[in-house]
Structure 1
Amino acid sequence: MSRVDRAARRAALSGSGPTRGETAHEARFPGARGAFSLLGEVLYVGILVAVVSIPVVTLPAALAAGVRHLRRYLKADDSGLSWFWRDVRAGLVGGIGVGAASLVLALVLALDIDLAGSGVLPGGPVVAAVGWAGLAVLALVLFTAAGRWTPGGGWLGALREVPGAVRADPAGAAYLVATAVFAGVVTWQLLPLVIPALGCVALAIVAVPERPRRHDVDA
Structure 2
Amino acid sequence: MTDTMTKREYRAAVRADRDGSGPTLEERPAARFPGATGAFQLLGEVLVIGLLITIASLPVVTLPAALAAGIRHVRRFIAAEHAPIAGFWRDVLRGSLGGAVIGLVALVAVGVLLLDIDLARSGFLPGGIVIEVIGWAGLAAVGLGILLAAGAWTPETGWRTAVRGIPAAVRDDVVGTAFVVATAGFVVVVTWMLPPLFIAAIGCAALAVVAVPQRTRRTR
TM above 0.5, one fold? yes
Kindly provide the amino acid, as one letter, of the partner of residue 109 in structure 1: L
Q: Please give the residue correspondences for 1:1-219 in structure 2 after superposition, counting only pairs within 5 Å.
A: 20=27, 27-211=31-215, 215-216=219-220
SS of 1:27's partner is coil
RMSD: 1.9
Evaluate the alpha carbon distance shift between residue 61 and residue 214 of structure 1 in structure 2; reply closer, same or farther with a 3 A threshold: closer
Structure with bigger RCO (C-alpha 8 Å, 6+ apart):
1
Structure having the higher Rg: 2
Shift, 1:120, TM fit = 1.6
Q: Distance in 1 between matches of 2:28 and 2:194?
A: 41
Evaluate the alpha carbon distance shift between residue 132 and residue 161 of structure 1 in structure 2; reply closer, same or farther with a 3 A threshold: same
SS of 1:211's partner is helix
What is the aligned partner in structure 2 of residue 12 from structure 1? none
8 Å contact kept, 2:50–2:199: yes
Q: Distance in 1 between matches of 2:39 and 2:125?
A: 49
Kindly provide the amino acid, as one letter, of the partner of residue 73 in structure 2: H
Kindly provide the amino acid, as one letter, of the partner of residue 99 in structure 2: G
Kindly provide the amino acid, as one letter, of the partner of residue 160 in structure 1: R
Shift, 1:122, TM fit = 1.3
8 Å contact kept, 2:176–2:216: no
Shift, 1:115, TM fit = 1.1
Q: Distance in 2 between matches of 1:63 and 1:184?
A: 15
Deviations 1:179-203 (A, max 9, x none): 1111111100011111101101101
Q: How many residues align?
A: 199
Q: Distance in 1 between matches of 2:155 and 2:27?
A: 37
What is the aligned partner in structure 2 of residue 9 from structure 1? none
Shift, 1:27, TM fit = 2.1
Q: Which runs of 4+ in 1 moved over 6 A?
A: none
Q: Distance in 1 between matches of 2:140 and 2:168?
A: 18
Shift, 1:59, TM fit = 0.2
Kindly provide the amino acid, as one letter, of the partner of residue 151 in structure 1: P
* Runs (5+) with no aligned partner, structure 2: 1-21
Q: Distance in 2 between matches of 1:203 and 1:125?
A: 35
Q: Distance in 2 between matches of 1:38 and 1:214?
A: 21
Kindly provide the amino acid, as one letter, of the partner of residue 112 in structure 1: D
**TM-score of the pair, normalised by structure 2:** 0.86
Q: Distance in 2 between matches of 1:155 and 1:206?
A: 18
Shift, 1:151, TM fit = 0.2
8 Å contact kept, 2:173–2:216: no
